[in-house]
């Protein structure tokens, strides 16, 4: 009988952060093998160092050159070893070498995904400053993946228990975000979210759209008519297409309503508007999905946590959940 579990590529992220530790902990968790056949794209020596500091002797790390060598055996971590990380690289400190490595791991994973060798990419966290120091000027994973896949525009969707949030803008300042928001971008963002939910078997997604200003402008009382100018035309166009959509709504009450189950998707206008409510639920609960790519990508919804890297206390639950959701999306792709 053939193994129906999808093949998922896990990228190691920044070697100085908690990525290696949460990957080792995930391989010690039986759930990983239940969801997928996983292969790591990273540095086998760094993963071995993380395993040793964790004292997880149940995980064997096996360096391989190509995915054809992967065995997908419980208790064995197959690692496509790019051998980019020096043995003496310290945990918890910014490193251009680690930043470049994080980029190279992603680039190899994208190649494998494009070739159809892996069904999805699941990413451990990278550090943006280290990424830039390593010569790769991207705001983060989302923009890097868009570049590597040749896609002009993608969206970030955060998924937590009882809440899904897609962002119209992400890694730009608030003033720039307000300038960038316009009806076409809002409409394309909502359409990407709608299509993703349809693929997840949600037949008629209930979508709610945040305003920009407090109280969604309150009929012009706050702001300069941004809701009417930048958001309302997109909502009207999508309603005309038959989408079940409400807004623009005040964000403060909207997220409460979404959390109790009134909506399947919230459309946030800028980074902190969407990230804050998700992260209040707990960093271990959130998953980041890049929407609009030709490949499936899920990620933990936390950073490299340099303050605890190398201490063996990082929580792997967000990575396990990201892997689960990546496997689920790959199975339906």
Instruction: Summarize pLDDT for 198-239 with one digit per residue, the tens.
Output: 887 888 999 999 999 998 878 777 888 899 999 999 999 999
Torsional sign, CA 10, 11, 13, 15: positive
Over the stretch 280-327, which tens digit does the pLDDT of each residue have?
876 566 788 899 988 999 999 889 999 999 999 999 999 999 999 899
Q: According to the model, what pLDDT value does residue 140 have? A: 81
Torsional sign, CA 133, 137, 141, 147: negative
HEC per residue, the chain: CCCCCCEEEEECCCCCCCHHHHHHHHHCCHHHHHHCEEEEEECHHHHHHHHHHHCCCCCEEEEECCHHHCCCCCCEEEEEECCCCCCCCCCCCCCHHHHHHHHHHHHHHHHHHHCCCCCEEEECCCCHHHHHHCCCCCCCHHHHHHHHHCCCCCEEEEEECCEEEEECCCCCCHHHHHHHCCHHHHHHHHHHHHHHHHHCCCCCCEEEEECCCHHHHCCCCCCCCHHHHHHHHHHHHHHHCCCEEEEEECHHHHHHHHHCCCCCEEEECCHHHHHHHHHHCCCCCCEEEEECCCCCEEEECCCCCCCCCCCCCCCCHHHHHHHHHHHHHHHHC
Q: According to the model, what pLDDT value does residue 1 have? A: 36
Average pLDDT over residues 127-155: 92
Residue 330 tokens, joined: 């790959």
Average pLDDT over residues 142-164: 90
Cis peptide bond prior to 136, omega within 30° of 0: no
Q: What percent of the chain has pLDDT over 90?
A: 78
Is the pLDDT at 163 greater than 80? The verdict is yes
CA angle (36 as vertex; 59, 287 as ends), nearest 5 = 95
Helix axes of 141-149 and 96-114: crossing angle, nearest 10 degrees: 40
Residue pair 76/60 in contact (Cβ under 8 Å)? The answer is yes
Which domains can be identified in the chain, with CATH numbers?
A: 1-152+293-333 (3.40.718.10), 162-280 (3.40.718.10)
Average pLDDT over residues 325-332: 86
Q: Give dist(CA 274, CA 156) in Å, integer.
A: 10
Residue pair 154/141 in contact (Cβ under 8 Å)? The answer is no
Count of residues for the chain? Answer: 333
Per the rule left: phi > 0, alpha: psi between -120 and 50, beta: everything else, 72 is left
């Amino acid at each position: 009988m053939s193994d129906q579990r999808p093949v998922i590529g896990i990228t190691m992220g920044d070697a100085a952060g908690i990525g290696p530790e949460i990957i080792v902990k995930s391989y010690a968790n039986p759930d990983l093998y239940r969801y997928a056949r996983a292969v790591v794209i990273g540095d086998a020596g760094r993963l071995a160092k993380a395993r040793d500091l964790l004292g997880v002797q149940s995980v064997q790390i096996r360096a391989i050159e190509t995915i054809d060598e992967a065995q997908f055996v419980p208790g064995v971590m197959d690692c496509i070893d790019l051998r980019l990380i020096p043995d003496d690289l310290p945990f918890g400190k910014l490193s251009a070498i680690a930043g470049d490595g994080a980029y190279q791991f992603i680039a190899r994973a994208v190649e494998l995904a494009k070739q159809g060798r892996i069904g999805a990419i699941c990413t451990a966290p990278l550090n943006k400053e280290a990424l830039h120091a390593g010569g790769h000027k991207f705001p983060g994973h989302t923009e890097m993946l868009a570049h590597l896949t040749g896609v002009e525009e993608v969206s970030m969707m955060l998924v937590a228990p009882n809440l899904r949030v897609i962002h119209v803008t992400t890694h730009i300042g608030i003033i720039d975000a307000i300038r960038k928001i316009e009806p076409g971008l809002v409409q394309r963002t909502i359409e990407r979210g709608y299509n993703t939910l349809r693929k997840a078997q949600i037949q008629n997604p209930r979508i709610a759209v945040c305003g920009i200003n407090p109280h969604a402008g309150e009929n012009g009382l706050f702001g300069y008519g941004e809701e009417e100018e930048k958001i309302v035309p997109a909502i009207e166009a999508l309603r005309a297409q038959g989408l079940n959509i409400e807004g623009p709504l005040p964000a403060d009450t909207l997220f409460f309503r979404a959390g109790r189950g009134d909506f399947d998707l919230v459309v946030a206008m800028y980074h902190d508007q969407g990230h804050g409510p998700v992260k209040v639920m707990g960093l271990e609960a959130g998953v980041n999905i890049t929407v609009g790519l030709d490949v499936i990508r899920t990620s933990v919804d936390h950073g490299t946590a340099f303050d605890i890297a190398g201490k063996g206390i990082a929580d792997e639950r967000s990575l396990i959940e990201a892997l689960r959701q990546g496997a689920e999306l790959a199975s339906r792709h």
